[in-house]
Structure 1
Amino acid sequence: MDSKQIIKEIGRGKLHARHLDEDTATALYRAMLSDEVDDLSLGAILIALRIKGEGEEELLGFYRGLEDFLPQWPALPNTLIIPSYNGARRQANMTPLLALLLHKCGVNVFLHGIHCDPTRFTSAEIFAAMDIKPARDIAESHQQMLATGFSFMTIDTLCPPLAKQLDLRWHLGLRNSAHTLAKLISPFVAHAGVRLSSVSHPEYLPKVIQFFRDIHAKALVSNGCEGEVYLNPQRPSAIHYVNNEGSDTSEILPRGIPAQTPLAANKEIATTVEWMQAVLSQKCPIPVPLREQIISCLVVCERFSTQSEADSWLTEQGY
């Protein structure tokens, strides 16, 4: 692996840098995750990629290199994979609520994310306040999925080399490609389940959609909320569905209207948990954008054939 040549290609700035081809990107990221790139070169590569942005072939190649470090569980029906890597900075983090509501609706949910972030409130911290513990290892998580249809894993357990890449943020001061890749991964084989994905910047939307088409994975992709996958209750975006059966992409949910129901009063964990419990126990309604997102998930996870069926069923259940 010639780090100097790679840095020369990708480090010429946003206007003059070149994207790596898929094979080179695969070999590079595999070497990075295997600690085969010295620290100085690694920092240079990550900063160069941050400035340039990942090309479509690079993103696919990085993922191919990362696959060697991930489990490859067989398919499990009605399964949704949810990433949670940003947490809440301005408003309550609703990813745990989305996951728990979907599980109550009969969807198998695998949620993965960071353990903590000193600048935000993470899903892991919210689950801890609810006494929902992360799986201790990959085998326990797989057993939880088979037995209960729900499991939460922190990335340091799911994929330690990727967790190490993520932690470089606190040394470099910036996020890196690992933050993009972490939101795309799954412990299941590529075609299994449905991946929930979000982007923070509009230019990443077609890139992420193309990525899922390239690996033949089903996915729901939208502009998230503060980097999380749930629809922003104040400014809900459209949701795009990538169908792996024909590599088709469609807008399964158009841009909606803001929530008209009470939300958590603030982002603090205790307040968030209290509001979540009220929604789960049907004492407080699900915000409309989140409810519409749940309906879309129920359809693509094959719990229901149409959105109207899922909508009617949710209403019958008191939601």
Structure 2
Amino acid sequence: MGISPYLKVIGRGRDGARALTREQAADLLGQVLDGFCTDLEIGAFCIAMRVKGETPQEMAGFLDAVAARMKHVPASDRPVVVLPSYNGARKLPVLTPLLGMMLARKGLPVLIHGTPTEDARVTSLEALSVIGITPQRPDSVIESGRLHYVDTRELLPGLKQLLDVRRTIGLRNSGHSLVKLMNPVAGTALVVGSYTHPEYFESMAATFELMGSNAMLLRGTEGEPVADPRRTPRMDVYINGQVRLVDEGRSGPLASLPSLPRLIDPITTATYMRGVLEGLVPIPEPIVIQTDHIVRACKAIEAAGDPSLLGPLTA
């Protein structure tokens, strides 16, 4: 059928556009991922959804299309903590690798997946490479206490191509939203999703609930799924789609701000992370808090969703 009938539905502007069903959204994105669309059609799709915005049903359909085509990482003995890393560092060092290594030290298997989407930013992969962690194939089992980085192209080449459209048109598209929601693991996992603006919190929360996800949702650092080291954000945990507010966050900066590197290049970032892990530099309190909540969430998943293991419910 092609995607032109769908473009007529979603491409009529913010007021005239209509939402697709979950099944229609899955079919549309499936054709994009399978390479059945022209560059013009893909550009029209990206702009139309950018103007209209995705509904939770549409995002669920997009996730269905990705899940049906993706090379999934094998299940591990424990829930795999999934850290999507696509934004990189702009003003602050990219500390997603630090969060991942702290979680691995707690005995959890950790997957960071990502790909560069902006040339001007420092990526998690660049910082990891300095300390000797290189990309793994998606068919490798992640042992408990280990961290793997997997490139998006290895998971699904069509998704990588969709993300790269940003380099041409200069705007993020639906692909940039779904990579922060998707679970690339064949078994049990906890996806750590992050948002940058309040409207994304609403849509991501609704999608996690609709998909029955195991997830954490927080306002991350410059779009990365790690708590801002200067302030503790609100954190919500989803177990099988059921939400629990585990930390209401703190308004304003910490009373004592952490000592962060002034430069964000990979070598400086890697040196800082080594110092933290070796106990030479204090661990930023918000990242400690986030780590503890993720560990408890994974224990709750292992205990068949026992919410009492998430810790006291914050008001």
Q: Same fold (TM over 0.5)?
A: yes
Unaligned runs of 5+ in 2: 303-308
Shift in Å at residue 39 of structure 1? 1.7
Q: Any conservation in 2 of the 1:21–1:57 contact (CA below 8 Å)? A: yes
1:96 aligned partner, one-letter code? P
Measured in 1, the distance between the counterparts of 2:215 and 2:26 equals 22
Letter in 2 for 1:248: Q
Aligned counterparts, 1:191-270, within 5 A: 192-244=188-240, 247-256=241-250, 257-258=253-254, 260-270=257-267
Alignment partner, residue 176 of structure 1: 173
Alignment of 1:12-23 (within 5 A): 12-23=12-23
Q: Which amino acid aligns with 2:153?
A: D
Q: How far is the alpha carbon of 1:111 from its aligned partner?
A: 1.0
Equivalent residues of 1:116, 1:122 under 8 A apart: no
The aligned amino acid for 1:62 is F
Equivalent position amino acid for 2:295 in 1: L
Question: Match for residue 279 of structure 2?
Answer: 282
Match of 2:94 in 1: 93
**One-letter identity of the residue aligned with 1:237:** P
Q: What is the alpha-carbon distance in structure 2 between the residues aligned to residue 264 and residue 62 of structure 1?
A: 38
Match of 2:67 in 1: 67
1:122-145 CA-to-partner distances (Å, cap 9, x unmatched) read 00110111121111x222x33xx1
Once the 2 structures are TM-superposed, how far is the Cα of residue 75 of structure 1 from its aligned partner?
Answer: 5.4
Decide whether the 8 Å contact of 2:80 with 2:185 is kept in 1: no
Q: Say yes or no: does 1:150 pair with 2:144.
A: no
- Number of residue pairs aligned between Structure 1 and Structure 2: 301
- Residues 58-99 of structure 1: CA deviation (Å, up to 9, x unaligned): 100111111112234345314211110000001111101110
> Closer, same or farther in 2 for the Cα pair 1:165/1:216, shift >3 Å?
same
Percent identical among aligned pairs is 30
Letter in 2 for 1:174: L
> In structure 2, what residue type is equivalent to 1:125?
E
Counterpart residue type for residue 279 of structure 1: V
Give yes or no for contact 2:238–2:244 (8 Å, CA) kept in 1: yes
Secondary structure at 1:197 match in 2: strand
Q: CA RMSD in A?
A: 2.0
Q: Which amino acid is 1:230 matched to?
A: V
SS in 2 for 1:225: coil
Give, in whole Å, the separation in 1 of the partners of 2:239 and 2:144: 28
Deviation digits for residues 117-164 of structure 1, max 9, x if unmatched?
3110000110111121111x222x33xx14763211111112211011
SS where residue 150 of structure 2 aligns?
strand
What is the CA deviation profile of residues 228-279 of structure 1, one whole-angstrom value per residue up to 9, with x for unaligned ones?
01111234310011111xx321111121353622122221222211111110
Q: 1:23 to 1:306 in 2, by over 3 A?
A: closer
Partner of 1:295: 292
Instruction: Name the residue aligned to 1:79.
Output: 80
**TM-score of the aligned structures, taking structure 2 as reference length:** 0.90
1:206 is displaced (CA, Å) by 2.3
Query: Which amino acid counterpart does residue 152 of structure 1 have in structure 2?
Result: Y
Show CA shifts across 1:143-197 (max 9, x none).
xx147632111111122110111111111111111111111222223x7121110
Q: Partner of 1:113 in structure 2?
A: 114
Moved more, 42-51 or 149-158: 149-158
- What is the aligned partner in structure 1 of residue 305 from structure 2? none
